[in-house]
Structures are given as C-alpha cells and as structure tokens.
Structure 1
Amino acid sequence: MKNITDDIMSHHTAGEKFIISAIEVKKIYENMYSGFMEEYDLTQNEIDVLLFLWKNEKYDTARDIAEYHHLSRSLISKSVDGLSRKGLLCIVQDRQDRRFIHLKLSSDAKEITNKLFKIEEKFYKSLQKDISQDELKVFLSVLRKIRKNIRKEADQID
C-alpha cells in the first residue's frame, strides 16, 4: 500500500521529488540525534558544529562552518558560544593574525563527538543500504552536477 507521500510525489517533477526527498532525509537525520540532544543538552546546530570540527581540523573557524553549512555567521556564533559555555569548545586566537579565531574541540567534546560520529555512521549505512557501489557512483555524479547547477543559479541571483 502506498503512503500519502509516495502518492503525492508520483505527480511531482523530478526537481520537486529531489527537494522533498532531501527535506525528508534531513528530518530523519536530525531525529536520529534527538535522544542525544536531550541527554547532553545540545542543539542540532551545536551537533553540526562538533561534527564539522571533528572531521575537518583544517577548517576551524566559524566562517568555515557557516560557509559549509550555508548558515549565517550569527547562528554559528550562537552555537559556538553555547559549546564554549558547556566546555566543549576551546576558542584560540590566531598567532599571526589576531582577527582570526580558531575553534578546537575540548577533551570532553572528543568523547561526545565520537558518540555522535557513531550515530552519523549508522545513519549513512542505513541510507546506503541495498545500493550498489555503481549506483552510488552514478548518484554522486548526478548530485555533483545538481550542486554545480544550483551554484550557477545562485551566482546569477546575487
């Protein structure tokens, strides 16, 4: 039996299906962290900041995080402030250029982030279940093209 989303989606264009699917995947992704968020008193944005810094030591500024997640710097700053107050983030001034602030995970954050990474890993495994490597390659190739098209479109709007 079809659910309502499948029935409605059967009438949409490919672009609409893509957007609806992306929203659905993001909601499921965020729901996977809900228990963790309660237990550790973290917001989704704070979790995203922790995971970003865990995986990208080279990119350690609020600007890097905002650019990657396509979020405002003020929202990232709010998350950074919260994580710093909770003792999960160390704020380090750049030695060569004092205008730059680097964000480093504290030792407490490393344990928490390791747990977050395991949740994320489980999510990605379930996302790729029953998808062959060839199918995944094609999907990622198409996704790169979509992102390229979107960026071109965004550049024309700005």
Structure 2
Amino acid sequence: MYFWDQHKTITNYYELLSSGICDQYGLTQMEYDILMFLHNNPQFNTAAEIVKVRKSTKSHVSTSLKSLENNGLIRRIQSEDNKKHIEIVLLDKAEIIVEAGLNMQKQFAKNVLSGLTEEEKHMCIHVFNKICGNAEKCLKEHKENANEREYV
C-alpha cells in the first residue's frame, strides 16, 4: 500500500534529523520522543496518557521514563489525592534538549513542506486528520468486536 510505505519515509527522515540530538545527549529515540511529547502536549503528562496517545508499549514508555528520571530530565509527582495518579514534569535540565528538538522540528517541517502553498499545507493537515480519525474509528470498532467475541 503506497501510503503506508511512504509514511515510513517521513518517519525515517524525522528520526535521521533527531538522531543527532539523541547522540549528543545520550538519549534513545523513545526518550527523545517522550521529552518532546511532554513539552508539546503538557495536558498528557502521565505514563498511561503517553502510552495511549503515542500508541507506544507500556514497557518501552516505562523503561524510557525510568532512564529520563535517572538522568534528571523528568520528575514524577504522585498525587496526594490518588496514589495511582503520577504526573510527569520536565526538569530544567531538559530545556536545552527540548530547545534543540524544537529547532529540529521547525527544520523538519520546513523541509518536508517545501514547495507547498499555505492552502496545500492546510489541506494536507485536514486530509491527514481524516485518515487518522478513520484509523482510530476502525481500531475502536475492532477492539469492541474483539471484546464482544470474548463474552460469547
């Protein structure tokens, strides 16, 4: 399927650009991605939300968070009201990495969107959001159907 194969090209290019930052700061791609995710999406600041929104595995997120915490880049804060609710916050030490990441993301967007008009950029975002919405709907339906089969 053409779209599936081509989206990997975009991902590979993004990872190529971010690999310099990962190498410079001794991060894995997942650790870097989590730092950037936390910065860009502060409303999703728990391990469970990172897993859900990024479609990552619990074990990879858990391992990466432990490493980031050990390196003084994040801190986990347990809720006083709910001991199971642990928020993740970026620490000052992560700022230089995030700044490098934001610059890289700007360069990435500039490069991959080169030659597109503003209208075409908006159209791409609109179409991509529709594709993702359709995929989300299909995943949800598949999960619901699988759950129904378990009870039969």
TM-score when normalising by structure 1: 0.85
1:141 equivalent to 2:88? Answer no
Aligned equivalents of 1:156, 1:44: Cα separation in 2: 31
Question: How far did 1:155 drift?
Answer: 2.1
Q: Distance in 1 between matches of 2:123 and 2:44?
A: 28
Post-superposition offset of 1:99? 0.9
Name the SS for the 1:90 alignment partner: strand
1:87 corresponds to: 72
Q: Which runs of 5+ in 2 are unaligned?
A: 144-152
- CA distance in 2: counterparts of 1:77 and 1:100, whole angstroms: 15
Q: 2:83 aligns with which of 86, 98, 101?
A: 98
Match status 1:126 vs 2:106: no
Runs (4+) off by over 4 Å: none
1:155 corresponding residue in structure 2:
140
Cα distance between partner residues in 1 of 2:88 and 2:66? 11
- Which residue of 2 is the match for residue 3 of structure 1? none
Task: Quote the Cα distance in structure 2 between the aligned partners of 1:151 and 1:35.
Answer: 32
Q: 1: distance between equivalents of 2:44 and 2:137?
A: 24
Identity of aligned residues (%): 26
In the superposition, the TM-score normalised over structure 2's length comes to 0.88
**Superposition CA RMSD, Å:** 1.2
Aligned equivalents of 1:145, 1:97: Cα separation in 2:
36
The number of equivalent residue pairs is 143
Gaps of 5+ in 1: 1-15
Residue 111 (str. 1) matches residue 96 (str. 2): yes
Following superposition, the deviation at residue 156 of structure 1 comes to: 2.7
**1:152 positional shift:** 2.2
Amino acid of the structure 1 residue aligned with 2:29:
Q
